[in-house]
Amino acid sequence: MSASRIAADAKVMLKHGAGGRAMRELIQQVFVGDAKAPADGGIGLAAMDDGAALRVGDEWLVMTTDSYVVKPPFFPGGDIGRLAVSGTVNDLSMMGATEIAALTCAVIIEEGFPRADLERIKASISAACAEAGTAIVTGDTKVMGRGEIDGIVLNTAGVAFTRRVVPDCGLRLGDQIIVTGTIGDHGLAVMALRHSLELEGELFSDVAPLNGLIRRALEAGGDGVVAMKDPTRGGLASALHEMAEKSRVGIVLQASRIPVNPGVQATGELLGIDPMHAANEGKAVLGVRPDAAASVLAALRSHPLGRQAEIVGSCVAQRPGFVILDTGFGLRLLAEPEGELLPRIC
């Protein structure tokens, strides 16, 4: 797209928050600019990874921050509190830092928000922290006038230490792609709730802190685990695109091997939303060297959150930066979602 056509597009739109290409371009153009990588070989803003890595002695200090808005704040399988802890723990884990030193939590609340709901969210935050083996060590609370904010917004930041950082750009030809379980659960559970679809058998969000699961994969695979990402907004499609683009490889996926819950599949067909475009909050994508793939897969499956882990694809030389889906019938590109996910018309 030419520069003049970008300049005409001078307002921030919802698509700029949808986790796809538009969002990455906005961040790149406005926030990253000419930011340099840290001199110590660490990971900074320019890498646009899940977090930053700074050298401290002979270890890496990994840090990340994320804000959470979800409508509605309570959904089947979780709530905004569990989401805020899991999201930040998972971003740290995706950098290879699974020992979470501490989290912070800031809360912005709309006037009139029920106190009972706030206490429920707090209880959920504590439970998720206990699961991840960490704690909130400092925080902040603000209240804004009615209508100035929609219900509640949470922000968490986290720090963790690791001896080896796993970036999201380390893929090479032949590397295997592993997903840790069924995809699209969170996105479609929230979407079904929002559109008040009355479905047989409820859908549940997969929101969960993954540091325990990822620790097991790293123990089994060691240096063979070369790239990790959590497929949140934009789904598996966006996460893989980003990994393919940064690593300059093509990724070929076998559709038949991608685990999808039947309820998620059916709801997706009904709404016209591809589960591969829908958010996950308790899943990871791992790029693994071929000789480590079997042991990493076995390690993931030995953990309760990884029972349905599968090797779903591999890296190829053709079409660098693209994700190709083998549907079982033939091949096609797997595009990133463009803009907000909207149910189809007919």
Partner 1 sequence: MGGNRLQFRDPARAAAMAEMLEHLVQEIGRDSVSVMHVCGSHEQAIARFGLRAIFPRKLEVIMGPGCPVCVTDMPEVDEAVALAEAGVRIATYGDMLRVPGTARSLADAQAAGAKIDVVYSVAQAAQLAANLDEELVFFASGFETTAVATAALLLSAPPANFSILSAHKYIPPVMEIVAEMPQTRVEGFLAAGHAATITGCAIFERFVERHGIPVVVAGFEPLDILAGLAKLLELIRDRRAEVANMYPRCVRREGNRRAQEVLWKVFRPVGGRWRGIAHVPNGNLRLRDEWSRFDARRRFKIDVSRLWDYAPPSLAQSCICGDIMAGIASPSACPLFSKECVPDNPVGACMVSSEGTCRIWHQYGGQLDLRQS
Tell the smallest beta-carbon distance from residue 189 to partner 1 (Å). 22
What letter represents residue 124's amino acid? S
Query: Given 3-state DSSP classes, what are the helix, strand and coil percentages for the chain, each rounded to the nearest 5?
Result: 35, 25, 40
Does residue 15 bind partner 1 (CB under 8 A)? yes
Q: How far apart are CA 307 and CA 182, in angstroms?
A: 10
Nearer to partner 1, 106 or 324 (CB): 324
Site residues (CB under 8 A) for partner 1, limited to 67-86: none
Does residue 1 bind partner 1 (CB under 8 A)? yes
Tell the smallest beta-carbon distance from residue 121 to partner 1 (Å). 34
Compute how many residues bind partner 1; rule: CB under 8 A. Answer: 28
Q: How far apart are CA 238 and CA 104, in angstroms?
A: 28
What letter represents residue 90's amino acid? N
Does residue 59 bind partner 1 (CB under 8 A)? no
Does residue 256 bind partner 1 (CB under 8 A)? yes
Q: Return the structure tokens found at 214.
A: 């990822």
Site residues (CB under 8 A) for partner 1, limited to 277-316: 316
Query: Cβ–Cβ contacts within 10 Å for residue 162, how many?
Result: 19
Nearer to partner 1, 39 or 346 (CB): 346
Element (H, E) at 212: helix 211-221
What spatial distance separates the first Cα and last Cα of the chain, rounded to whole Å? 31
Partnered with residue 250 across adjacent β-strands are 316
Q: What are phi and psi of 27, to 5 degrees?
A: -60, -45
Out of 3, 5, 14, 147, name the contact with partner 1 by CB under 8 A. Answer: 5
Site residues (CB under 8 A) for partner 1, limited to 326-345: 326-333, 335, 338-339, 342, 344-345
Nearer to partner 1, 114 or 328 (CB): 328
Nearer to partner 1, 29 or 327 (CB): 327
Interacting residues toward partner 1 by CB under 8 A: 1-2, 5, 9, 15, 22, 256, 316, 318-319, 322, 324-333, 335, 338-339, 342, 344-346
